Amino acid sequence: MAARDSSRPCLLLVDDTPANIQVLVGLLQADYDLKVATRGAQALKICEQTPHLDLILLDVMMPEMDGYEVCRQLRAAEATRSIPIIFLTAKSEIDDVVHGFDLGASDYVAKPFRPPELLARVRTHLLLRAQQREIAEKNTELKEILQIVSHDVANHFSVVSMSLDLLQGNPSFPFERLRPRMAAAARNGVALTTLVRDLRRAEEKGLLLQPVALAAALDEALLLAESRLREKEVTVRQQVADLRVVAESVALTNSVFGNILSNAIKFSHRGATIDLSAQPENGWACVRLRDHGIGMPPAVLDKLFDVTKSHSRKGTAGESGTGFGMPVMRKFVTLFGGTVEVATREQATHPEDHGTEFTIRLNLVS
């Protein structure tokens, strides 16, 4: 959705009588951005030019094009189909209310209207509209995640099923060749389900924030990464102050520190060093993890935290991943009330000094 200049909802008022428009403006201008039209055609034009219109107050009786026709045309166009329309209906037209609903109106207010009633109906329909948008956005995101997850899971299962098929057809084929691939597929498949579960848990807001000992959480994350560090002969240089931060300890250890550590190991060269520090800084607990690996190209950096676009990249030893690690990591830091910054320099463009640094700021417990 396009960014708006203002966070105030934008309403269009349509009435052929200027005096009526004036009354409506007086009533609504304190809370809403307003656009006005005195003719049906003019109203349609404004709708076309105002992509973020939130609600329309529409007079029924107007010369040339009446409110019903305006409503019909707005409902026929994709861009304006879901904008709430409230008809302003004179008493004599009350019988036509049903006709208005049939055309897709959201509600009606009888003229002469009572201001509190009009304001209440406007508020109700704006709220409904906001909720609809939120649900639609969430739904799109979930669909995209589902598509990515099923794609990735199918890929991991493919490796296993292809290997079994290969063995079935060629019994003398050396299983030892297939075993590491099947193991990697299984590991990544499990990692994927864990991250999706983490993501859901984060979104369900059931997170219990409490004081967590930062050094202990980092130690545990390092312990969990030990075999990968050893395998790649990566050394971690630490300078960690004894701080207490606001977080949830399991998520901080696994989803935050575990993910940035995995990332740093994955993109480090064999035998490299990773620098880890945790210091108080301007009232925050500031954790920095710096690798001296291959760095990220701008295209990867741009999509790093977007769960729908993020894509797993091969590590320096061909390590595969899920593509979900970084979005999940940032989601949790945000839920802890903290921030994440990334600075990166590609080896290809900075052969002398390259690598990636994650800076995570967390709330200090005073």
Binding site for other proteins (CB under 8 A): 147, 150-152, 154-155, 157-163, 165-166, 169-170, 173, 177-178, 181-182, 184-185, 311, 313-314, 318, 320
User: Closest distance between other proteins and the C-beta of residue 297, in Å?
Assistant: 9
Classify residue 201 by its DSSP letter: H
DSSP helix, strand, coil percent of the chain (3-state; round to 5): 50, 20, 30
First to last CA, the chain: 39
> Quick one: 97 or 160, whose CB is closer to other proteins?
160
| φ/ψ (deg, to 5) at 178 | -85, -30
User: Closest distance between other proteins and the C-beta of residue 229, in Å?
Assistant: 21
Cα–Cα nearest to 234, from 291, 305, 284: 291
Cα–Cα nearest to 50, from 97, 115, 19, 5: 5
> Quick one: 133 or 270, whose CB is closer to other proteins?
270
> Quick one: 154 or 241, whose CB is closer to other proteins?
154
CB atoms within 10 A of CB 220: 17
Residue 263 structure tokens = 């990332």
User: Closest distance between other proteins and the C-beta of residue 181, in Å?
Assistant: 4
Distance CA 259, CA 201 (A): 16
> Quick one: 57 or 326, whose CB is closer to other proteins?
326
> Quick one: 46 or 184, whose CB is closer to other proteins?
184
Q: Judge contact between 339 and 206, C-beta under 8 A.
A: no
Instruction: Using only the alpha carbons of the chain, give its radius of gyration.
Output: 29
> Quick one: 136 or 166, whose CB is closer to other proteins?
166
Alpha-carbon torsion (90, 94, 97, 99), positive or negative: negative
Kind plus residue range of the DSSP H or E element containing 189 = helix 175-203
User: Closest distance between other proteins and the C-beta of residue 188, in Å?
Assistant: 9
> Quick one: 156 or 361, whose CB is closer to other proteins?
156
User: Closest distance between other proteins and the C-beta of residue 4, in Å?
Assistant: 32
Question: Strand order in 339-345's β-sheet?
Answer: 235-240, 273-281, 284-291, 355-363, 339-345
Instruction: Report the DSSP beta bridge partners of residue 246.
Output: 211
User: Closest distance between other proteins and the C-beta of residue 347, in Å?
Assistant: 16
User: Closest distance between other proteins and the C-beta of residue 59, in Å?
Assistant: 43
User: Closest distance between other proteins and the C-beta of residue 152, in Å?
Assistant: 8
Cis, peptide link before residue 51, omega less than 30° from 0: no
> Quick one: 58 or 192, whose CB is closer to other proteins?
192
- 33 residue type, one letter: D
